[in-house]
């Protein structure tokens, strides 16, 4: 049989062979092309952040923290490096939960820390972060206390159950039920060998204290201490104090345990908040603050507790500015530190005069929220302070005396939106300049070129440095040069702009190991994910952030300067999108409200004619009211920035189905070839439609998931598929690109487990049939039934749950795609080549020679994890990567990938191998060496040969 | 037999490269046996007729014309043996398969010029046609070979690179957050 050969096939075959035999990351590229920003998240509560000895008897302590993303861990206070971290609750953080009531981290005995989250208690080795034991309670844990002498951890559950767990083994030592399950437990106090549990009795509105024997768990005494009104709530009280604190809207009430003695301090909760600190049982320190921007205040009071009586001793000065207090006792006396944006001041408990003040050389980037400090008074009276300060922007800094030692960008763990910005797009206006040179006359063109060349001289030092580096790099590894100076010829340098929950916008540089380039505050204190209407790349290095309040921030993404801030009146439920003029560089932000008959908005509200032109052929689509489906509109601008919206189509789900996700093809998704070449050199034409949207809906009542492929211009349903026996409570994720989509769900069918399903769409089921594909132009409205796509699917079983799916994108779309899977169980970002997820793979038989030539191989339903070849994150341990974004580089082979969530992981990937770039493994030394050797050889041989030739002529 | 002609006519008509006659007034060298050679010379002397010469020429021309046919089977076997992979040898051999016939075709006139004459001209036409036909046959083998190597754009996939997706008339903008 004669095989037909085509050079293209060889290329593809070689590519497929390479990609199947090569690794996703070469070992010499690991840690060079990728970066990871290891994050904890912002410290949740000052009581859950502390300096603590890592192991008993060892000098030097680590900084332990519990974050708003439920990560616990230890930080080396010297350099801010992560020592260890663990995740609580498997990432079940919902933004609205008041986490500081559910989660806490406490010191325990012998270099251990204990963590509590909701119903789970765990004891961790403080030095290594290994779990010693874990205990899961039946209901939410109210408080825990470590009893050092008894070697017990006592746990109070909300319902009044008290359990003592042996620190060594995790076994229950004793348990008791307080208050017959009617009372609500709040907190423990451990004073003078007596364990007090404070409860509130909802029926009789009484505050109750029960004394429990630490050794046996016997309930020794019960006191009814006072009235716990319906508006009262418990206040977190240090466990070593003999008082318990609760509050109503106007008072802070301090009840001395076991007595009816309650001291009431008047505090207006509307404006002021407070926090209780203590390091010994006879000194109570209360800090007060008000954070509102126009009337920020702070002060603090020392109280002594003697014989159950709380008396004010010293009040530290009231200031009109934000500062936070921390109490510390390192054996050299109790000292309070007051940390403000510009200084740290130390106060003693004896007087309101400051003992010491450390002026910071520059202001902190934002106001502090809380701080933990260690203040040491040396024998000679000198005072040294170390403060771990959590800032309003979500970051943590460590200040030693008057120096900021390190900053951890913990706010990035609370990012709610991210967008790529091309740096080269801004710098390289080359294409345009060249075009201008072409069109203008000879003289001006020449002048233009010369001026351009002079302008480019600024890159010369960087280029020389880079050249030197690359020469030196031949002989061994060198330190990377400053990425900001050198030009980026391959387009690897992208900024990722994040909007964080704290109302800040931060950009990181992918070419500089994820270093923060700039950060800027939006004039909004706190942002939830739903508050962000969108972050849009507005071209030319400008990003626009739109909030649900209608605030629009236009930011220069290269310098981080705010360009423009404006507010338009947008309904909070409106969908915001961006539209680009096809003829000019203009772009607009469009807001489409959810309510029918309400006008939309556009911004900037000028150049209406251009916008009219841009909108004339456009269909806007968004989720319908109540998320019941997708609605499409056409829009026409009117005066003063309003849009008249006309509903054109809607696709509504049946009432038992809920939208899980809607995905569209990526903004940059070129299709290089409209057909797929088969082994016999015939063509299967792809279904090419730029308006595809994949709606995934779940019906929990019937445990099914539904996939609808829609055309967002006409609203036509192009393809539907149903999966029964699906677990709708587990993550269902999908990604769509080119002419295919991939989704993953958990199946309860016979093939139980996570399934990864791929569907490819072709224009026709027959070969060489382009359908309507070869017309010069196509309209979505002019699609007969016969033009509906032909879909083929394969399903694969994947061993681990997948929380996020994404697709690589390259500049021209020639390179095969890779599907990126975020697998939290493995802590990895995996990449699977689309050639593996190929629905044309033959089932149940070996591929024929033609199929082999096409690159198909036998279908195997089990898709194992190939750690060597498939893992982009190689040996890194990624935590909480639940969103993955990709962007093309200037090299066709390479796509830039950034995953975010808690950690930030960035890398470059070449799904079809780096065919257009020399790898790091390329031996430049050998190349240059052989060129030199040939040169030297020629130099030596030339006279010899000449002499021989002359000799020959004489001999003739 | 044609009527006898004057000696000068015969001298004129005999081919100039025929051996000049030995002068008769010079005696044969001793030992030279004239008898055996005289018979031959007798025959040689009778010049071939025009028709005979023409026949001979045409016969020779046929031999030249049919020479490529002899190499055809060899070419085919060689092409078959060299395989369809794109290697330097198979490419060179295939190139030769085109080069040689083309070169031959461009010099058909030259090749047959020595057989060409007034009388043979018309008869040579078929010979030339056969020659051209055989050369074309060789080229056909070359084409078949090139096709086997997959270098001919005979399938749909060969034109795929020039096919582009239609330009969509509408645009769609969406945000499903």
Contacts of A332 (CB under 8 A, 6+ apart): A376, A377, A378
| CATH (residue range A412-423+490-567) | 2.40.10.480
- Residue A458 structure tokens: 């600024």
- The rounded percent of chain A whose pLDDT value lies above 90 is 44
Question: Which residue in chain A has the smallest CA separation from B175?
Answer: A622
Work out whether strand A675-677 and strand A343-347 pair parallel, antiparallel, or are unpaired: unpaired
pLDDT at A943 over 60: yes
Residue A647: the pLDDT is 92
pLDDT at A185 over 90: no
Residue A401, classified by CB atoms within 10 Å of its CB into exposed (0-12), middle (13-18) or buried (19+), is middle
On the CB side of A445, CA atoms within 13 Å amount to 10
Best probe of the B interface among A628, A662, A681, A770, by most B CBs < 10 A, is: A681
Question: Which residue in chain B has the smallest CA separation from A620?
Answer: B173
- The rounded percent of chain A whose pLDDT value lies above 70 is 94
Question: Which residue in chain A has the smallest CA separation from B169?
Answer: A779
| CATH (residue range A1-32+653-773+786-914) | 2.130.10
Is A158 in contact with A185 (CB distance < 8 Å)? Answer: yes
pLDDT at A22 over 80: no
Q: Which residues of B touch A767 (CB under 8 A)?
A: 156
Smallest CA-to-CA distance from A247 within A261, A260, A230 is with A230
Token pair 């969406």 in the structure block, residue = B174
Alpha carbons A837 and A793: distance in angstroms, whole number: 9
Q: Which residues of B touch A8 (CB under 8 A)?
A: 157
User: What count of CB pairs under 8 Å joins A to B?
Assistant: 128
pLDDT at A97 over 80: no
- Residue A822 structure tokens: 């975020």
Query: Residue A30 CB: number of other CB atoms within 10 A?
Result: 17
| Minimal Cβ distance to B173: which of A618, A773, A777 | A618
Query: Residue A323 CB: number of other CB atoms within 10 A?
Result: 26
| Edge-to-edge strand list for the sheet holding A206-212 | A184-191, A194-201, A206-212, A219-227
Question: Which residue in chain B has the smallest CA separation from A678?
Answer: B157
Q: Which residues of B touch A579 (CB under 8 A)?
A: 173
pLDDT at B20 over 60: no
Alpha carbons B142 and B135: distance in angstroms, whole number: 11
For residue A705, give how far its alpha carbon lies from the nearest alpha carbon of chain B (Å).
19
- Residue A106 structure tokens: 């406490």
For residue B35, give how far its alpha carbon lies from the nearest alpha carbon of chain A (Å).
54
Averaged pLDDT, B111-138: 86
CB A713 to CB B172 under 8 A? yes
Residue A94: the pLDDT is 60
CB B174 to CB A579 under 8 A? no
**A260-269, A490-499, A670-679: the lowest-pLDDT one:** A260-269
pLDDT at A508 over 90: yes
Residue A10: the pLDDT is 43
pLDDT at B3 over 80: no
Averaged pLDDT, A879-892: 92
Alpha carbons A622 and A600: distance in angstroms, whole number: 13
ipTM of the shown complex: 0.76
| Minimal Cβ distance to A618: which of B150, B165, B172 | B172
Q: What is the separation, in whole angstroms, between the first and last Cα of chain B?
A: 112
Residue A166, classified by CB atoms within 10 Å of its CB into exposed (0-12), middle (13-18) or buried (19+), is middle
pLDDT at A478 over 80: no
For residue B177, give how far its alpha carbon lies from the nearest alpha carbon of chain A (Å).
7
CB B176 to CB A576 under 8 A? no
**Radius of gyration of the CA atoms of chain A, in A:** 33
CB A7 to CB B86 under 8 A? yes
For residue A698, give how far its alpha carbon lies from the nearest alpha carbon of chain B (Å).
17
Is A609 in contact with A590 (CB distance < 8 Å)? Answer: no
| Minimal Cβ distance to A534: which of B167, B170, B175 | B175
Q: Which residues of B touch A10 (CB under 8 A)?
A: 86
| Minimal Cβ distance to A681: which of B85, B155, B164 | B155
Q: For A375-411, write each residue's pLDDT tens digit.
A: 988 888 888 999 999 998 899 999 998 899 999 999 9
| Contact status of A952 with chain B (Cβ, < 8 Å) | no
For residue A893, give how far its alpha carbon lies from the nearest alpha carbon of chain B (Å).
19
Residue A6: the pLDDT is 46
Is A751 in contact with A771 (CB distance < 8 Å)? Answer: no
Alpha carbons A115 and A956: distance in angstroms, whole number: 99
* pLDDT band at residue A370 using 50, 70 and 90 as cut-offs: very high
For residue B11, give how far its alpha carbon lies from the nearest alpha carbon of chain A (Å).
51
Residue A758: the pLDDT is 96
For residue A817, give how far its alpha carbon lies from the nearest alpha carbon of chain B (Å).
19
Is A350 in contact with A384 (CB distance < 8 Å)? Answer: no
Query: DSSP for A847-886?
Result: PPHHHHHHT-----SB----HHHHBSSTT-----EEEEEE
| Contact status of A575 with chain B (Cβ, < 8 Å) | yes
Token pair 């010979």 in the structure block, residue = B127
* pLDDT band at residue B82 using 50, 70 and 90 as cut-offs: confident
pLDDT at B168 over 50: yes
Alpha helices for A229-339 (secondary structure H): none
| Edge-to-edge strand list for the sheet holding A383-391 | A368-377, A383-391, A396-400, A403-408
| Contact status of A2 with chain B (Cβ, < 8 Å) | yes
Alpha carbons A608 and A581: distance in angstroms, whole number: 11
pLDDT at A729 over 70: yes
Is A365 in contact with A393 (CB distance < 8 Å)? Answer: yes
For residue B73, give how far its alpha carbon lies from the nearest alpha carbon of chain A (Å).
19
CB B175 to CB A622 under 8 A? yes
Residue A865: the pLDDT is 85
| Contact status of A776 with chain B (Cβ, < 8 Å) | yes
CB B174 to CB A693 under 8 A? yes
Peptide bond into B103 cis (omega under 30): no
Q: For A122-138, write each residue's pLDDT tens digit.
A: 999 999 999 999 999 88
Residue A95: the pLDDT is 56
Is A621 in contact with A612 (CB distance < 8 Å)? Answer: no
A 691-720: CB under 8 A from B: 691, 693, 712-713
On the CB side of A663, CA atoms within 13 Å amount to 21
* pLDDT band at residue A11 using 50, 70 and 90 as cut-offs: very low
pLDDT at A13 over 60: no
Smallest CA-to-CA distance from A179 within A167, A155, A162, A164 is with A162
Work out whether strand A777-778 and strand B167-168 pair parallel, antiparallel, or are unpaired: parallel
Supply the angle between the helices A924-955 and A460-475 in degrees, to the nearest 10: 80
Query: DSSP for B76-128?
Result: HHHHHHH-SS--HHHHHHHHHHHHHHHHHHHTHHHHTGGG--TTTHHHHHHHH
Residue B10: the pLDDT is 81
* pLDDT band at residue A16 using 50, 70 and 90 as cut-offs: very low
Q: Which residues of A touch B168 (CB under 8 A)?
A: 689-691, 777-780
For residue B90, give how far its alpha carbon lies from the nearest alpha carbon of chain A (Å).
13
pLDDT at A8 over 50: no
* Residues of chain B with a CB closer than 8 angstroms to some CB in chain A: 84-86, 148-151, 155-158, 160-161, 163-177
CB B176 to CB A10 under 8 A? no
Residue A182: the pLDDT is 79
Q: For A543-585, write each residue's pLDDT tens digit.
A: 999 988 888 999 998 888 888 888 888 788 888 999 988 888 8
Averaged pLDDT, A801-827: 93
Q: Count the residues in chain B.
A: 177
3-state class (DSSP) for residue A519: strand
Residue A269: the pLDDT is 77
Question: Which residue in chain B has the smallest CA separation from A8?
Answer: B158
Alpha carbons A909 and A887: distance in angstroms, whole number: 11
- Residue A73 structure tokens: 């861990």
Smallest CA-to-CA distance from A298 within A279, A312, A315 is with A315
Averaged pLDDT, B147-171: 88
Query: DSSP for A752-782?
Result: -EEEEEEEEEES-SSTT--TTTTSSEE-TTS
Q: Which residues of B touch A4 (CB under 8 A)?
A: 148, 150, 155
Q: For A227-238, write each residue's pLDDT tens digit.
A: 777 778 888 888
Question: Which residue in chain B has the smallest CA separation from A594?
Answer: B176
pLDDT at A91 over 60: no
CB A681 to CB B167 under 8 A? no
Alpha carbons A738 and A687: distance in angstroms, whole number: 9
* pLDDT band at residue B33 using 50, 70 and 90 as cut-offs: low
3-state class (DSSP) for residue A347: strand
| pLDDT, mean over chain A | 87
Residue A796: the pLDDT is 95
Question: Which residue in chain A has the smallest CA separation from B83?
Answer: A2
Is A213 in contact with A252 (CB distance < 8 Å)? Answer: no
Sign of the C-alpha dihedral computed for residues A186, A191, A196 and A200 taken in this order: negative
Q: For A516-546, write each residue's pLDDT tens digit.
A: 999 998 877 677 777 888 899 887 788 999 9
A120 vs A58, which has greater pLDDT? A120
Averaged pLDDT, B125-152: 89
CB B169 to CB A675 under 8 A? no
| Contact status of A658 with chain B (Cβ, < 8 Å) | no
Sign of the C-alpha dihedral computed for residues A915, A921, A925 and A926 taken in this order: negative
**Phi, psi angle pair for A598, to nearest 5°:** -95, 140
Q: Which residues of B touch A533 (CB under 8 A)?
A: 177
**A589-603, A929-943, B16-30: the lowest-pLDDT one:** B16-30
A55 vs A388, which has greater pLDDT? A388
Contacts of A719 (CB under 8 A, 6+ apart): A707, A708, A709, A759, A761, A788, A789, A791
Q: For A193-215, write each residue's pLDDT tens digit.
A: 889 998 887 777 788 888 998 88
Q: For A757-797, write each residue's pLDDT tens digit.
A: 999 999 999 988 888 888 888 888 888 777 789 999 999 99
CB A622 to CB B166 under 8 A? no
* pLDDT band at residue A14 using 50, 70 and 90 as cut-offs: very low
Question: Which residue in chain B has the smallest CA separation from A667?
Answer: B173
pTM over 0.90: no
For residue A783, give how far its alpha carbon lies from the nearest alpha carbon of chain B (Å).
12
Smallest CA-to-CA distance from A702 within A734, A670, A673, A728 is with A728
Residue A388: the pLDDT is 94
């Amino acid at each position: 049989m004669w095989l037909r050969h085509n050079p293209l096939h060889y290329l593809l075959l070689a590519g497929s062979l390479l990609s199947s035999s090569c690794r996703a990351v070469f070992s010499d590229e690991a840690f060079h092309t990728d970066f990871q920003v290891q994050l904890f998240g912002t410290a949740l509560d000052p009581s859950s952040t502390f300096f603590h000895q890592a192991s008993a008897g060892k000098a030097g302590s680590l900084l332990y923290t519990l974050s708003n993303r439920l990560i616990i861990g230890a930080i080396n206070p010297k350099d801010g490096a992560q020592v260890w971290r663990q995740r609580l609750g498997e990432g079940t953080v919902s933004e609205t939960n008041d986490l500081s009531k559910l989660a806490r981290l406490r010191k325990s005995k012998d270099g251990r820390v204990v963590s509590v989250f909701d119903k789970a208690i765990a004891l961790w080795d403080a030095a290594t972060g290994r779990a010693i034991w874990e205990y899961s309670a039946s209901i939410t844990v109210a408080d825990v206390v470590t009893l050092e002498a008894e070697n017990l951890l006592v746990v109070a559950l909300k319902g009044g159950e008290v359990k003592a767990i042996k620190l060594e083994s995790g076994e229950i030592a004793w348990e008791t039920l307080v208050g017959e399950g009617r009372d609500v437990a709040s907190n423990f106090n451990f004073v003078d060998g007596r364990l007090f549990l404070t409860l509130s009795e909802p029926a009789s509105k009484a505050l109750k204290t029960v004394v429990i024997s630490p050794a046996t768990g016997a309930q020794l005494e019960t006191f009814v201490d006072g009235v716990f009104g319906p508006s009262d709530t418990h206040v977190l009280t240090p466990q070593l104090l003999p008082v318990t604190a609760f509050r109503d809207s106007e008072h802070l009430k301090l009840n001395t345990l076991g007595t009816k003695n309650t001291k009431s301090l008047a505090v207006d909760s509307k404006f002021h908040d407070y926090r209780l600190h203590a390091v010994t049982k006879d000194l109570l320190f209360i800090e007060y603050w008000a954070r509102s921007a126009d009337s920020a205040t702070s002060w603090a009071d020392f109280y002594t507790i003697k014989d159950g009586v709380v008396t004010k001793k010293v009040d530290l000065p009231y200031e009109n500015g934000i500062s936070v207090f921390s109490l510390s006792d390192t054996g050299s006396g109790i000292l309070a530190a007051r940390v403000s944006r510009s200084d740290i001041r130390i106060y003693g408990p004896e007087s309101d005069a400051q003992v010491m003040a450390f002026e910071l050389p520059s202001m902190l980037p934002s106001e502090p929220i809380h701080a933990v400090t260690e203040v040491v008074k040396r024998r000679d009276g000198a005072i040294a302070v170390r403060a771990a300060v959590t800032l309003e922007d979500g970051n943590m800094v460590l200040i030693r005396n008057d120096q900021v030692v390190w900053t951890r960008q913990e706010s990035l763990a609370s990012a709610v939106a991210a967008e790529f910005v091309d740096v080269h797009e801004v710098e390289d206006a080359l294409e345009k300049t060249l075009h201008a040179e072409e069109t203008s006359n000879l003289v001006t063109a020449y002048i233009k070129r010369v001026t351009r060349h002079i302008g480019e001289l600024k890159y010369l030092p960087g280029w020389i440095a880079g050249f030197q580096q690359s020469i030196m790099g031949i002989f061994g590894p060198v330190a990377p040069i400053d990425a900001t100076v050198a030009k980026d010829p391959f387009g690897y340098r992208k900024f990722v702009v994040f909007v964080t929950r704290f109302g800040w916008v931060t950009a990181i540089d992918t070419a500089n190991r994820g270093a923060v380039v700039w950060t800027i505050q939006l004039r909004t204190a706190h942002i939830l994910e739903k508050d962000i209407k969108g972050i849009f790349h507005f071209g030319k290095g400008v990003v626009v952030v739109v909030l649900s309040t209608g605030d629009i921030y236009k930011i220069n993404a290269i310098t981080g300067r705010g360009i423009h801030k404006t507010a338009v009146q947008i309904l909070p439920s409106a969908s915001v999108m961006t539209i680009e003029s096809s003829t000019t560089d203009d772009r607009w932000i469009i807001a489409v409200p959810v309510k029918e008959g309400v006008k939309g908005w556009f911004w900037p509200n000028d150049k209406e004619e251009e916008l009219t032109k841009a909108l004339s052929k456009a269909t806007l689509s968004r989720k319908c009211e109540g998320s019941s489906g997708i609605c499409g509109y056409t829009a026409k601008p009117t005066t003063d920035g309003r849009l008249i919206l006309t509903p054109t189509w809607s696709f509504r789900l049946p009432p038992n189905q809920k939208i899980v996700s809607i995905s569209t093809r990526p903004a940059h998704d070129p299709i290089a070839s409209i057909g797929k070449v088969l082994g016999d050199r015939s063509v299967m034409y792809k279904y090419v439609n730029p308006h595809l949207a994949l709606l995934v809906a779940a019906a929990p009542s019937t445990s099914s998931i539904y996939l609808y492929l829609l055309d967002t211009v006409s609203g036509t349903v192009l393809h539907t598929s149903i999966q029964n026996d699906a677990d709708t409570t587990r993550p269902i994720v999908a990604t769509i690109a080119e002419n295919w989509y991939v989704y993953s769900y958990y199946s309860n069918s016979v093939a139980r487990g996570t399934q990864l399903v791929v569907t490819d769409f072709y224009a026709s089921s027959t070969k060489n049939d382009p359908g309507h594909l070869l017309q010069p132009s196509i309209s979505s409205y002019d699609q007969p039934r016969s033009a509906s796509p032909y879909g083929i699917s394969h399903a694969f079983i994947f061993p681990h749950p997948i929380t996020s799916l994404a697709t690589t994108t390259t500049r021209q779309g020639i390179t095969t795609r890779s599907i990126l899977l975020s697998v939290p169980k493995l802590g990895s970002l995996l990449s699977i080549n689309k050639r593996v997820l190929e629905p044309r793979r033959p089932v149940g038989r070996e591929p024929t020679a033609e199929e082999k030539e096409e690159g198909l191989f036998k279908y195997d339903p089990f898709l194992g994890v190939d750690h060597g070849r498939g893992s982009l994150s190689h040996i890194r341990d990624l935590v909480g990567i639940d969103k993955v974004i990709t962007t093309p580089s200037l090299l066709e082979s390479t796509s830039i990938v950034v995953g975010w969530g808690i950690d930030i992981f960035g890398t470059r990937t070449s799904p079809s191998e780096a065919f257009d770039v020399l790898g790091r493994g390329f031996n430049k030394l050998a190349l240059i060496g052989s060129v030199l050797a040939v040169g030297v050889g020629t130099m030596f041989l030339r006279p010899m040969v000449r002499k021989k030739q002359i000799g020959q002529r004489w001999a003739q | 037999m044609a009527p006898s002609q004057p000696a000068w006519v015969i001298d004129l008509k005999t081919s100039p490269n025929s051996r000049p006659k030995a002068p008769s007034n010079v005696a044969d060298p001793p030992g030279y046996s004239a008898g055996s050679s005289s018979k031959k010379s007798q025959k040689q002397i009778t010049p071939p007729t025009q028709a005979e010469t023409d026949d001979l020429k045409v016969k020779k021309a046929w031999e030249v014309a049919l020479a490529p046919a002899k190499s055809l089977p060899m070419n085919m076997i060689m092409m078959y043996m060299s395989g369809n992979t794109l290697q330097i040898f198979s490419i060179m051999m295939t190139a030769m398969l085109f080069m040689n016939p083309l070169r031959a075709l461009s010099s058909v006139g030259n090749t047959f010029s020595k057989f060409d004459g007034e009388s043979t001209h018309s008869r040579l036409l078929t010979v030339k046609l056969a020659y051209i036909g055989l050369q074309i046959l060789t080229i056909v083998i070359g084409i078949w070979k090139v096709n086997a190597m997959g270098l001919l754009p005979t399938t749909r996939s060969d034109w795929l690179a020039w096919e582009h997706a239609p330009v969509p008339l509408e645009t769609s903008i969406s945000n499903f957050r």
